[in-house]
Chains A and B, each alone.
Chain A
Amino acid sequence: MTNEPKHSLTVECTVNGERVRREVPARRHLADFLREDLELTGTHLGCEHGVCGACSVLVDGAVVRSCLMLAVQAHGRRIETIEGLSDSGALKDLQTAFIERNAAQCGFCTAGMLLTAHQLTASGEAMTRPEIREYMSGNLCRCTGYHAIIDAVEAVLRSKSRTP
Chain B
Amino acid sequence: MSATVKDDAVIGKGFPRKELQRLLRGRGRYVADIKLPRMLHLAFVRSPHPHARIVDIQTAEALASPGVVGVYIGKEFTDSEPLVGIALHRRGHKSAPQYPMAVDRAVWQGQPVAAVVAETRAEAEDAAELVQVEWEELPAITSGEEAVAPDAKAIHPEIGDNLAFEHTISVNDPEKTLAQSHIVVEQSFRFERQTGLPLETRGMIADWNPGDESLTVHYAHQSPFQMQEIFSRHLGIPPLKIRVIAPDVGGGFGIKLNIYGEDLAVVMIARRLGRPVKFISDRLESLVSDAHARDHDIVAKMGVSAEGRITSMWLDDLGAVGAYGMPFRFNVAEGMMCITMAGACYDFSSYWGRTRSVYVNKNLVGMYRGVGIPLACIVTEVLADKAARQLGMDPADFRRLNHRRKEDLPCVTPNGSQLDTVSFEECFEKVLKLMDYDALRKEQADLRKRGILRGIGLASFVEATSYGPPYYGPSQASISTQDGCTLRLEPAGVVRCITSLTDQGQGTLTGIAQIVAEAVGLSFDQVEVMGNDSAISPYGGGAWASRGMAVGGEAALNAGRALKQNIIALAAAITQNLPEALDIKAGEIVNKESGAAVLSVAELGRIAYFRQDTLPKDADVQLSVTRSFADNHKHYYMANGIQASYVEVDEATGFIKLLGHWAVDDCGRIINPLQVDEQVRGGVVQGIGAVLYEEFMYGPGGGLQNGSLVDYLIPAASEMPDIHVAHVETPERTTQLGAKGIGEAGLIGAMGALWVSVNDALQPLGATVAHQPFTPERVLLAIKAAKAGR
Contacts and interface: CB of A to CB of B under 8 A. Distances in A.
B122 interface: yes
Interface of B: 14, 16-17, 19-21, 23-30, 32-33, 35, 122, 196-201, 248-253, 282-284, 504-507, 674-675, 677-678, 681-686, 708-710, 714-718, 720, 722-723, 746
Contact of A145 (B33, B196, B506, B678): B678
Given A147-B722, A147-B723, A104 B23 contact: yes
Interface string A30-63: 0000010001111111111101101000000000
Contacts of A43: 26
A141 to B, nearest CB: 7
A27 interface: yes
B507 A105 contact: yes
B678 A144 contact: yes
B25 A82 contact: yes
4 tightest CB-CB pairs across the interface, nearest first?
A42-B26, A107-B23, A105-B505, A108-B250
A141 B35 CA distance: 26
Determine the main DSSP class of A at the interface with B: loop
Contacts of A46: 199-201, 250, 283
The size class of the interface chain A forms with chain B is 35 or more
A160 interface: no
Nearest to B26: A42
Contact of A142 (B284, B681, B686): B686
A112 to B, nearest CB: 9
B283 A107 contact: no
A109 B718 contact: no
Given A27-B122, A51-B709, A95-B25, A107 B20 contact: yes
Contacts of B29: 41
Given A44-B32, A99-B20, A102-B20, 16 more contacts: A27-B122, A35-B33, A39-B35, A44-B200, A46-B250, A81-B26, A83-B25, A99-B24, A108-B199, A110-B23, A138-B716, A142-B196, A142-B198, A142-B251, A145-B723, A148-B681
B29 to A, nearest CB: 8
Contacts of B25: 42, 82-83, 86-87, 95
B658 to A, nearest CB: 11
Contacts of B716: 137-138, 140, 146
A11 interface: no
Given A46-B199, A150-B717, A105 B681 contact: no
A42 B678 contact: no
A83 B27 contact: yes
A136 interface: yes
A48 B198 CA distance: 14
Determine the main DSSP class of B at the interface with A: loop
10 contacts: A42-B27, A102-B507, A107-B28, A133-B717, A136-B717, A137-B718, A140-B714, A141-B199, A142-B682, A147-B723
A139 interface: yes
Contact of A106 (B283, B284, B504): B504
Contacts of A74: none
B384 to A, nearest CB: 26
Contact of B32 (A45, A81, A139, A143): A45
B725 to A, nearest CB: 9
A102 B722 contact: no
A41 B200 contact: no
A111 interface: yes
Most chain-A CB neighbours within 10 Å: which of B19, B24, B684? B24
A80 B720 CA distance: 30
A95 B33 CA distance: 22
A42 B33 CA distance: 8
B200 A106 contact: yes
Contacts of A41: 26, 28-30, 32-33
B505 A106 contact: yes
Contacts of A42: 25-28
Interface string A124-164: 00000110011011111111111111100000000000000
A145 B16 contact: no
Most chain-B CB neighbours within 10 Å: which of A27, A54, A99? A99
A18 interface: no
Nearest to A108: B250
A110 B30 CA distance: 13
A100 interface: yes
A114 interface: yes
Given A49-B283, A49-B710, A146-B685, A44 B30 contact: yes
Contacts of B196: 142
Most chain-A CB neighbours within 10 Å: which of B23, B507, B683? B23
B685 to A, nearest CB: 3
Most chain-B CB neighbours within 10 Å: which of A42, A109, A146, A147? A147
